[in-house]
Chain A
Amino acid sequence: DQQVKQNSPSLSVQEGRISILNCDYTNSMFDYFLWYKKYPAEGPTFLISISSIKDKNEDGRFTVFLNKSAKHLSLHIVPSQPGDSAVYFCAASASGSQGNLIFGKGTKLSVKP
């Protein structure tokens, strides 16, 4: 049973526009959420995180929104750039989980010039 779901396997966006990547979770014990970007043949690169005590966190072009009641989070990238083209993974953890991040299956973002 998938505890973290990324229902869109792919997303295509025009350069300069907003990219919105979505993630849903089922475990109410999750209290820390992260987004990673991954290029082929490389390890995931940490982008941004959010604690369950917040509903928004911003870092440059990246903003993560958390809706706890809907068990939903989203990553907004504004403006999107061709270099943002990669697979984006949503991950979640619960306090005391000791290193166990639960990952979604990823969304492949293509930003077209």
Chain B
Amino acid sequence: KAGVTQTPRYLIKTRGQQVTLSCSPISGHRSVSWYQQTPGQGLQFLFEYFSETQRNKGNFPGRFSGRQFSNSRSEMNVSTLELGDSALYLCASSPVKRAGVDTQYFGPGTRLTVL
């Protein structure tokens, strides 16, 4: 099976712009979670989608949003970019065999740099 794929792998944007990142989960996986990784804060949960619905959201401002399509592919959007949004954004998918307890498999990430 192909793994989780994320596009693009690298992005450079300037402050105030917006950005959309894409994630294709492992075939058959219905849950997609997004994480932000920075040197100072480590890996932090952004949100999780299942069957096109956001089921859980981390402690991030409303500038961070996402959606999931009927084929389980997901996108996340960051509007009005700030310098502090520079990070590695990771997408993870899971099969949801048991409610709330599942192994997540990560993609390679999108490295976003905000200038």
Query: Could you tell me which residues of chain A, from 75 to 102, have a CB within 8 Å of some CB in chain B?
Result: 89, 91, 93-102
Interface residues of A (CB under 8 A from B): 31-32, 34, 36, 41-46, 49, 51, 89, 91, 93-106
Interface residues of B (CB under 8 A from A): 4, 6, 31-33, 35, 42-45, 47-50, 55-56, 58, 90, 92, 94, 99-101, 103-109, 111
User: Which of A45, A49, A96 interacts with B99 by CB under 8 Å?
Assistant: A96
Contacts of B99 in A (CB 8 A): 95-96
Contacts of B48 in A (CB 8 A): 98-100
Question: A-B contact count, CB below 8 Å?
Answer: 78
Least distance between A9 CB and chain B CB atoms (Å)? 11
Contacts of A36 in B (CB 8 A): 106
Contact A98-B42, Cβ < 8 Å, known A36-B106, A43-B106: no
User: Which of B4, B45, B109 interacts with A101 by CB under 8 Å?
Assistant: B45
Contacting pair B103 A100 (CB below 8 A): no
**What are 5 A-B contacts with C-beta separation under 8 Å?**
A43-B92, A44-B43, A99-B33, A100-B33, A100-B58
Least distance between B111 CB and chain A CB atoms (Å)? 8
Contacting pair A100 B45 (CB below 8 A): yes
Q: Main secondary structure on chain B at its contact with chain A?
A: strand
Contacting pair A97 B104 (CB below 8 A): no
Contacts of A95 in B (CB 8 A): 99-101
Q: Main secondary structure on chain A at its contact with chain B?
A: loop
Contacting pair A101 B42 (CB below 8 A): no
Contacting pair A98 B55 (CB below 8 A): yes
Least distance between A68 CB and chain B CB atoms (Å)? 16
Least distance between B73 CB and chain A CB atoms (Å)? 16
Least distance between B23 CB and chain A CB atoms (Å)? 11
**B31 to chain A: closest residue by CB:** A99
Contacting pair A94 B100 (CB below 8 A): yes
Q: How far is the CA of A51 from the CA of B58 in the complex (A)?
A: 23
Q: How far is the CA of A104 from the CA of B41 in the complex (A)?
A: 10
Contact A102-B100, Cβ < 8 Å, known A45-B106, A97-B56: no
**A49 to chain B: closest residue by CB:** B103
Q: How far is the CA of A97 from the CA of B55 in the complex (A)?
A: 9
